[in-house]
Chains A and B, each alone.
Chain A
Amino acid sequence: MKKHLLMVLAFSIIASCVFAAGPSIDLKTASWDSIVAAAKAEGSITFYAWYFPDYFKEAAADFEKKYGIKANVIIGDQTANFNKAIAEKDMQVGTIDAMIVGGQWVKTTTDLNLFYGPIKNILPDADKFAATSWEVQEGVLINGYLAPFHRNQTGFLYNPDRVKDLPQTWNEFVSWINAHPKEFGFCDPSKGGSGQAFVHTAIGALTGGLEKYKGDKEVDPAKVANWNIVWKWFNDNKDKMTITISNNDSIIRLNGGELSMTIAWNDGVKDALSKGNLFKSAKMYIPKMGLPGGGDTVGILKNAPHKAAALVWINFLQSKEQQLKKYKMVGSYPARDDVTIEDNVFDEEELRHNSVPWFPASYKDYMIKEFVKNVLMK
């Protein structure tokens, strides 16, 4: 028995070493044509995501048609995807080639050194994206390891039959929730980015703006000393608002008539509209007090078995055609700078003036933990 087990172990190690060899070329110095050739030789790529199964299924078919490389897209759950990637971190060869990296996972995955790179200098269309999107995501330095994939924006989603005067400033918003108790909902910030966006806005409004956090890598205790004002405000007004359990739960409750207004992501709204989960008359806007926008990136795992194919897949997802196709199908904004979009849910002017950047990720992490401790657990 022991002998058999040793044989299995030895076989696994040898097999790992053989497969770990990966492409025979150095991807960081090779020409793009030779990377494409290496990708074709690898023959397939495994990509993990947790949304847009419709878009990715079509993208995979387009990719196979164009390059003859099979794209195996696994639509899982966000947390489960990262748990799997982390569980496979120390394997010589993993099972995931590339994956979407959601905003709240940028810091964790970067700290764990999970991704191969930098890939910015390998991808031929890298200069078509804002230079900052390759450098910093969610306030974390990513140094070209994660490829920008899409952008999205939070806004107030409302039922126009019930909300006539749209609150634009923080004071107007507070008056509105006083007049309409329980009709505004936001998701638990530990469960979704739209809730984080709302608490982020509240911090900005109640503690003198968000500028002071800019550029900080770690939380400055002096700058968060007055956040207790924010937690007090939430506790005082808890009974006037509804806390939901996810981004989509907020949309579902608005559709069900429980809420009149909520905070949501534009692509989540578009998805809900296209699937019959939200009434067609629902409207969205970004108030003048500002709401943050975000975006997801794609990374190649360090132990990916098909790195060349993963690079070609990312380049394909970043192409103009695919960025536009994705916008048309699921409503997430292209990350490219050279793409013009139509039928935007937000007014261009509104988007330019009222969309604000997130404060650094360290503050975001701190904000979520403190919100849970000081508001949810109180």
Chain B
Amino acid sequence: MQEKIQKIPLYIRQARRKQSLTTILTAFFIVVQIIWVGLPIFMAVLWSLVDPDHPWSFPSILPEKLSLAQWVYVFKYTNIVRALKTSYMLAPCAVALSFLLGLPTAYVLGRKQIRGKKFFETIVLLPMIMPGMVVALFLSRVFTAFGLAQNFFGLVLAHTLMALPYMIRLLATSFEAIPQDIIDAAENLGANTFVKIKDIFLPMIRPGLLAGIIFAFTTSIEEFNLTFVIGTPTFETIPTILYSFLGYNFIRTNASVVALIMMIPNIILLFIVEDLLKFDYLSASLGKL
């Protein structure tokens, strides 16, 4: 046996070892993903399908009977359809506005050496650090004073405010990563500002931009506090419905339904963005693809 192994060339044995390690790591990754992501989603799906007349109780491992009664309940007794429309109208607007507002700041933070840069970088992150309800309570007064409460534009602004830190941070990092050599080369070849933006900056910040879009979009979709204080009763979003089942009055079956409703479009968006991210312009430009 020992003799047989020794007959296999060393490079093949090394390749096999490498392949085995890759297989083990891949399997480990899949198992972790199943436990970390798949299992909660699977449980949410099961809880959302529990038949009210056949409770899912200990010691049953799976529900006795599945039905769509919990889904029917949520669609019949909550304003989920209105909330869905509002949420998915708000999120793209908030993403677009946070991009437009965040781009100049991100450019300066990423490409320019200014005094107090670290300070500004921290200031930009403040809305993320402060508790949501505290931000909501103070901002509601400002929004009300300027007639921005209870209107769609006000809500877009509010969501933009919450999404901006992600957009700015991710874009600034992308701007920072662009090698100066490429910009210098383009300038030497006669590229004007417009050409540099079109052919260098925008393509190269694309991965950061797409990540910023994902974060800004999900932040908007999940934003509760500010929307609740300045938006309701005129506007309801998905989290305002979700919190009624998740908060003080926690109802697992109904909460699962709303969580899935909120989650599914986000997962689809993630796959779309993941697909777009496959072409990494920055790496390609540096000959790493």
Show the binding face of A for B, using Cβ within 8 Å.
5, 8-9, 11-12, 46, 48, 50-51, 53-54, 57, 72, 74-80, 83-84, 86-88, 91, 95-96, 191-192, 246-249, 252, 255-258, 271-280
Residue-wise interface mask of B (247-274) relative to A, using a CB-CB cutoff of 8 A (1 in contact, 0 not):
1111111100000000000000000000
Cβ of B144 < 8 Å from any Cβ of A?
yes
Which residues does chain B contribute within 8 Å of A48, judged by CB atoms? 233
Cβ of B141 < 8 Å from any Cβ of A?
yes
Contact of A280 among B55, B224, B253 (CB under 8 A): B55
Cβ of B244 < 8 Å from any Cβ of A?
yes
Contact of B249 among A5, A50, A257, A278 (CB under 8 A): A50
A72 touches B233 (CB 8 A): yes
Residue ID in chain A nearest B59 by CB atoms:
A257
Residue ID in chain A nearest B150 by CB atoms:
A95
Which residues does chain B contribute within 8 Å of A9, judged by CB atoms? 145-146
Known contacts A54-B76, A248-B250, A273-B55; 8 further A-B pairs (Cβ under 8 A)? A50-B248, A57-B77, A77-B243, A80-B229, A83-B133, A96-B233, A276-B52, A279-B57
Contact (A74, B77) CB under 8 Å given A9-B145, A277-B251: no
User: How far, in whole Å, are A72 and B233 apart by their CA atoms in the complex?
Assistant: 8
A80 touches B243 (CB 8 A): yes
Cβ of B51 < 8 Å from any Cβ of A?
yes
Which residues does chain A contribute within 8 Å of B86, judged by CB atoms? none
Which residues does chain B contribute within 8 Å of A5, judged by CB atoms? 146
B229 touches A83 (CB 8 A): yes
List the 3 shortest-distance A-B pairs measured between CB atoms, nearest first: A257-B58, A77-B247, A279-B57
Residue ID in chain A nearest B144 by CB atoms:
A91
State how many angstroms separate the Cβ of A22 from the closest Cβ of chain B.
Answer: 18
| B interface residues, tally (CB under 8 Å) | 48
Q: List 18 A-B contacts (CB under 8 A).
A: A53-B78, A75-B244, A77-B246, A77-B248, A87-B229, A91-B144, A191-B248, A252-B250, A257-B59, A275-B52, A275-B70, A275-B251, A276-B53, A276-B54, A276-B55, A276-B253, A277-B50, A279-B57
Which residues does chain A contribute within 8 Å of B150, judged by CB atoms? 95
B233 touches A50 (CB 8 A): no
Which residues does chain B contribute within 8 Å of A258, judged by CB atoms? 58
User: How far, in whole Å, are A79 and B248 apart by their CA atoms in the complex?
Assistant: 8
Cβ of B287 < 8 Å from any Cβ of A?
no
Which residues does chain B contribute within 8 Å of A50, judged by CB atoms? 244, 247-249
State how many angstroms separate the Cβ of A244 from the closest Cβ of chain B.
Answer: 10
Contact of A276 among B56, B76, B224, B243 (CB under 8 A): B56
A80 touches B57 (CB 8 A): no
State how many angstroms separate the Cβ of B210 from the closest Cβ of chain A.
Answer: 33
Show the binding face of B for A, using Cβ within 8 Å.
50-59, 69-70, 73, 76-78, 133, 136-137, 140-141, 144-147, 149-150, 224-225, 228-229, 232-234, 236, 240-241, 243-244, 246-254
Which residues does chain A contribute within 8 Å of B146, judged by CB atoms? 5, 8-9, 12
Contact of B77 among A11, A54, A272 (CB under 8 A): A54
B147 touches A11 (CB 8 A): yes
Which residues does chain A contribute within 8 Å of B133, judged by CB atoms? 80, 83
Which residues does chain A contribute within 8 Å of B250, judged by CB atoms? 246, 248-249, 252
B244 touches A76 (CB 8 A): yes
Which residues does chain A contribute within 8 Å of B224, judged by CB atoms? 80
State how many angstroms separate the Cβ of A376 from the closest Cβ of chain B.
Answer: 18
A53 touches B57 (CB 8 A): no
Residue ID in chain B nearest A280 by CB atoms:
B55
Contact (A192, B52) CB under 8 Å given A11-B147, A54-B73, A257-B59: no
User: How far, in whole Å, are A288 and B85 apart by their CA atoms in the complex?
Assistant: 52
Contact (A256, B147) CB under 8 Å given A78-B249, A192-B248, A277-B251: no
State how many angstroms separate the Cβ of A48 from the closest Cβ of chain B.
Answer: 8
User: How far, in whole Å, are A77 and B229 apart by their CA atoms in the complex?
Assistant: 11
Residue ID in chain A nearest B134 by CB atoms:
A83
A78 touches B248 (CB 8 A): yes
Which residues does chain A contribute within 8 Å of B76, judged by CB atoms? 54, 57
Which residues does chain B contribute within 8 Å of A257, judged by CB atoms? 57-59
User: How far, in whole Å, are A57 and B233 apart by their CA atoms in the complex?
Assistant: 15
Residue ID in chain A nearest B53 by CB atoms:
A276
User: How far, in whole Å, are A105 and B144 apart by their CA atoms in the complex?
Assistant: 25
Contact of A252 among B137, B236, B252 (CB under 8 A): B252
Contact (A275, B77) CB under 8 Å given A78-B248, A95-B232: no
B50 touches A276 (CB 8 A): yes
Contact (A278, B55) CB under 8 Å given A76-B240, A87-B141, A271-B251: yes
Residue ID in chain A nearest B51 by CB atoms:
A276
